[in-house]
Each structure stands twice: as structure tokens, then as C-alpha cells.
Amino acid sequence: MGIRNWLGLQESTDPEVNRLKGEVDTLSFRLEESYEQLSRMFAEDAGWSKLGDQTERDLSPEGRKQAAQACRVMAIANPLIARGIAVRTGYIHGNGGIGVVAADGKETGTQDVNTVIQAFLDDPGNRAAFTGHQAHEQLERQLSTDGNMYAILFTAPDTGFVRVRTLDPLEVTDILTNPEDASEPWFYRRDYVETTIGERTAKVTTRQKTTWYPALGYNPTRKFPVIDGNPVDWSASVHHTAVNKVGKYGIGDAYAALPWARGYTGFLDDWAKLTKALSRIAWKMSGKKNTAQQMRSQLNSLTEAGGIVGGDAGTQLEAVPKTGATIDAESGRPLATMVAAAFGIPVTTLMSDPGQTGARAVAETLNQPTRLQMQGRRDVWTETYRAILNHVIDQAVLSPRGPLKGGVKADPYTGRQEVVLGNEDDRTITFTWPELDDTPIDVMVKAIVDADATQKLPPLETMRLLLRALGVRDVDEILDQFTDDAGNFIDPNISAGDAAVDAYNRGEDPAAVLNQ
């Protein structure tokens, strides 16, 4: 009931009364409009409240576990998710992966840090778990499904040699951070099932266990043996790598693609059913009643397309028209585009097909946004390697039989204890990734040769660039073959006599060169 009727106002010949009636109508309209706006506002607020509640549930330990498990299943069962992860992994770790070289001490006459680094990288256990190409693919897949990677580092007390393994992200249930700085982790809680085998009976037993591990770089003066009744393992430390981070934890790249991948799968399923239905309903028959019944029985007896059925002159048999039937599979392409957007790759690359409106060159081109996104993930891995390798160097110094010498000093700004070597250049670690662009090898080699012709590049650096351009693995091992004990480059094209003359000109002992 409107306000006007509620007030009992009726039509009148008095102009003043009619004016008042008009004002009442206007106020009534504005009041009803305001009520509708408030109703929509409250509905939207309720929607945002539900969305916030849903997000909170999704980021809870159980919610993160369910999301990771769903992504893991879809990474195997759904072709689009599997393809998206494979494409990202190929862009990031393909074509040789990351190359790591540290100071070898020959040029500076100090310590051979590179030998320590290469021993860590080449260890069979470390290669299987972290540094090898297969491990790179598995860990990149883990970031795509779980959003988190936990590297746990075990150090030999006497030699300082570091072994790296990874934890199942679903086992890490809590992270304790600095109360005054949430970005600084202190401890990681791991809830897992421990399996043991009896020494005498070989009986397998399992038990639920909880252990806390300190974060990499956290070394307090007072080391708590127990937190909340559970032991702290100070013999190992954990480095956490997270992507799409929300709060303390990361979210897998595939999480945003899940609903769209399911939608595209459902679309293709419906499209296949429609096409199958159209292939089975192939003929329309009309005629007299008795004749139609006979024809129907004969049609139903046909077992394959192209069969023959007979009828009288009054019976008509014609193909069912497909006008109005939508059988175009390209209509679902926008759903696949959303999956591609979640992984940060072009839909042409995800689908391995440029589609009806694209071109093959488009499908094979890596555009600038994709290139930057893949380079960004490479930078994440570079920082992970840098943190772990610095820990490897520290332990090689601090251990009693460690191969490196150094000391410990307090940082003048932060007050944190740091391990220092005799020369600051000893900590220089060079990370090299292959180019994301598919640059022809002859173009790259020509550019390196032209740069070398300027005589501004050291010969050893020119050789390193050429080996990387040719995709040679273990570049550092080859460079060692062409470097003398003083760190000088040994040109393979000159004779021993020429090398002795060069050594004499540098003020070195020519005999030492001839005896090599």
C-alpha cells in the first residue's frame, strides 16, 4: 500500500490539494527507492561477509590441505591443468636450468669456495631431492599445486657438509614468527606419521609424531628443547619458499584455474553428448500409420549407418536437419582462456592450437607479460638457491673440519651474527639461466664473438658465455681444464712454448707452465 492511499488522499478539484498529493507521491517514490537501495546494500554486505568467511575457511589448515589435494588430483586427471603446469615448468627450468658458479679462489689467491658449492650441488642425494633437473620439475610442480616448498637442511657436525631434503607441505601445520615481525619465521611445526622397522622381527610400526624445526638463519642464544610439549630438532633447519602468498602460506598456481578447468571439461562433455545424440537421431520418417509402424521396426533393426529400408510410395524418409543445433567446440574457448590466465600463459600455448582466429606464429610466440612472469619465478628460485648456498658456505666455515676458513662478527646495523670469509669476493655466487627467447645459436655466438673482438671481455668469461650459449652442462668443470693454478686462462690454441713466454712476460716461472 502506497503512502498516498494510506493517508486516504483522493483526487480533488482544489489545486492546493493536488499539489500536496503530488508531493506525497514524490516522497513515496523516493522512500520506496531508498528502501530498495538499502536492501541491495545489505544483500551485498552479506555477500562480502560470506566471501570473507569462505576465504578464512580456505586459508585454514584444513582448507589449505583440501585445496592442495584438489590441485594435486587435477594436475593428474585434468589435461588443461597438467598442460599448464608442464608449460610453466618448461619455461622456467627447461633448456639446461639454472647454472651456479662461485669464486674458485685462483684469481684472488684465496679460498676455493666453488669446490664447496659444486660438491653440494653434485651430491647424488642432493641432486635427487633438490639440485637435479628431475627434482626441479617435481618442486616446480609442487609450487603449482601446493604453493609451498619446504627445504630441510641437515649438516654434518664435523665437516659441515650439508644435505638437503624437502618436506611434504601438507605435513607443515604451523609457522611461529617473530612476535614483533611477522615476516621473520622462527619455527616450523611438522605433524607426520613416523614409520619404523623392527631390527629383529622386521615388523613395520607407525606412530603420529610432531616436531618443531628452526627456520634457516634463526640461531638464538637460548635454544628451547621443547615447544608446546613437542621436541625441537636443532640439528636441521628449514627454508620456506612460497608463491601467491597470503599470510604465512602460499597458494598453488593451479588453485585459481580449478573452477574454469572443471567448467571447460563439463562443456566438452556436453558437446560430446550433443554430437553423439545428433549422430544417432539421423532420420525422420512420416507416412500412413500402418506403414510407419512397419518402417519403424525396420529402422530399429539397422545396426550401422548406410543401411537400407524399404517402404511404399506414401512413406517419406528424410535426414533430421541440424539447423539450430550448436555443435561448435570453439564456443568453450573463453573457459580455457581463464585457465591460461591463471597460469600466466597464452591460451594458444595452453591449447597447443591457435584456434580458428589465430595463427601458428601466435601460438609459438612468448609475449612480454609471460616472459616477465616466468622470469619472476626464476628469480624466486634464485633467491632460494642463494639462501641455501650461503648456509652451505657458513657451515663449511663453522665446522671443526670444514674446508673453509673465516670468522664470525656482528652486523653493525642489525646486530645479527654473520659468518665472514677472508675476502668479500669469496661469497660472490653467479646464477645463470638460459634465455627465455628462442634466439638462434648462430645469432648468440656471433654476438659473443663481436663482444670478444672489443678485447674488453676476459677470455675466461668469453668461454663461459660460449659454453652457456651452446647449452653445455657443467660449465665450471670445463673451465677448470683451461685455468691454471693462478687463475689464468690457458688458451687451447697456443703451444706450450708460447704459454711459457706469456708466463715470463707476466713475471711468473716459465718452468711451472711447461711442467703442467
pLDDT of residue 413: 74
- Residue 41 counted as domain residue: yes
Per the CB < 8 A criterion, the answer to whether 360 and 348 are in contact is no
pLDDT tens column, 33-48? 665 655 655 554 555 4
d(CA 337, CA 350): 9
pLDDT, position 479? 73
Q: How many domains does the chain have?
A: 1
Q: Where are the alpha helices (DSSP H) in 131-282?
A: 133-145, 258-280
- Taking residues 414-442, report their average pLDDT: 79
| Amino acid code (one letter) for 20 | L
Q: Is residue 263 part of a domain?
A: no
Phi, psi at 427, each rounded to 5°: -90, 0
Nearest Cα neighbor of 227 from 213, 241, 245, 244 is: 213
Average pLDDT, the chain: 79
Q: Model confidence over 242-298: pLDDT tens digits?
A: 999 988 999 999 999 999 999 999 888 888 887 777 666 555 556 665 565 666 665
The answer to whether 130 touches 151, Cβ cutoff 8 Å, is yes
Q: List all residues 6 or more positions away from 182 whose beta carbon is below 8 Å from its beta carbon.
A: 248
pLDDT for position 11: 54
SS3 state at 6? helix
Name the grid cell of 31. 522512500
Domain of residue 49: give its range: 3-58
pLDDT per position as a tens digit, 113-171? 888 999 999 999 999 999 999 999 999 999 999 999 999 999 999 999 999 999 999 99
Cell of 502: 706469456
3-state secondary structure of 176: strand
| Local confidence band at 352 (pLDDT 50, 70, 90 cut-offs) | confident
Q: How far apart are CA 301 and CA 295, in angstroms?
A: 10
- 411 confidence band (pLDDT: 50, 70, 90): confident
pLDDT: is 365 or 395 the higher one?
395
Q: At what angle are helices 133-145 and 61-77 packed, to 10 degrees? A: 120
Integer angstrom CA distances of residue 461 from 302, 449, 479: 77, 12, 10
DSSP 320: P
Query: What is the layout of strands, in order, in the sheet containing 181-197?
Result: 172-178, 181-197, 204-214
Rounded to an integer, the average pLDDT of 458-477 is 76
Locate 74 and state its grid cell: 587435477
Answer whether 333's CB lies under 8 Å from 346's CB: no
How is residue 288 written as a grid cell?
500412413
The b-or-e profile of 389-419 (16+ CB within 10 A means b, else e) is: bbbbbbbbbebeebbbebeeeeeeeeeeeeb
Within 13 A of 92's CA, how many CA atoms are on the CB side? 28
- What does the pLDDT average to over 164-182? 93
pLDDT at 218: 92
Residue 43 lies in a domain: yes
So what's the pLDDT on residue 7? Answer: 45
- Determine the pLDDT at residue 148: 96
Indicate yes or no: pTM above 0.75.
Answer: no
Is 12 within the bounds of a domain? yes
Cα separation, 36 vs 43, in Å, equals 11
Question: What pLDDT band is residue 204 in, cutting at 50, 70 and 90?
Answer: confident
Residue 206 phi/psi, 5° resolution? -130, 150
Query: Is residue 417 in a domain?
Result: no
Residue 497 maps to a domain: no
> What percent of the chain is predicted at pLDDT more than 90?
35
Higher pLDDT, 462 or 79: 79
Average pLDDT over every residue of 432-447:
79
Q: Which residues contact 411 (CB under 8 A, 6 or more apart)?
A: 417, 418
Give the mean model confidence (pLDDT) for residues 191-217.
88
C-alpha span between 51 and 53 (Å, rounded): 5
375 close to 87: Cβ distance less than 8 angstroms: no
- Per DSSP, helices labelled H in 238-367 are 258-280, 289-300, 333-343, 347-351, 360-363
* Residue/partner pairs of 366-369 with CB below 8 Å, 24 or more apart: 366/91, 366/436, 366/437, 366/438, 369/344
Q: What is the pLDDT of residue 56?
A: 54
Is the Cβ–Cβ distance between 123 and 454 less than 8 Å? no
Asked whether the beta carbons of 258 and 71 are under 8 A apart, the reply is: yes
Q: Look at residue 196 in the predicted model and tell me its pLDDT.
A: 85
Q: How many CB atoms within 10 Å of residue 212?
A: 22
Q: Are 141 and 89 a contacting pair, CB within 8 Å?
A: yes
**DSSP strand pairing (316-319 vs 283-286):** antiparallel
Cell triple for 378:
626464476
| DSSP structure class, residue 81 | H
Q: Is the pLDDT confidence value at 49 over 90?
A: no
Rounded CA gap, 200 and 197, in Å? 9
Identity of the amino acid at 325: A
Confidence of residue 175 (pLDDT cuts 50, 70, 90): very high
CA end-to-end span of the chain: 107
pLDDT confidence band for 231 (50 / 70 / 90) = very high
Query: What is the H or E stretch that residue 353 is in?
Result: none
Q: How many CA atoms lie within 13 A of 393 on its CB side?
A: 28
Position with higher pLDDT, 66 vs 284: 66
Q: How far apart are CA 460 and CA 296, in angstroms?
A: 86
Residue 171 lies in a domain: no
Mean pLDDT of 6-33: 63
According to the model, what pLDDT value does residue 4 have?
A: 47
The pLDDT assigned to 272 comes to: 84
Domain contains 22: yes
Residue 63, pLDDT score? 83
Per-residue confidence (pLDDT) for residue 363, from 0 to 100: 47
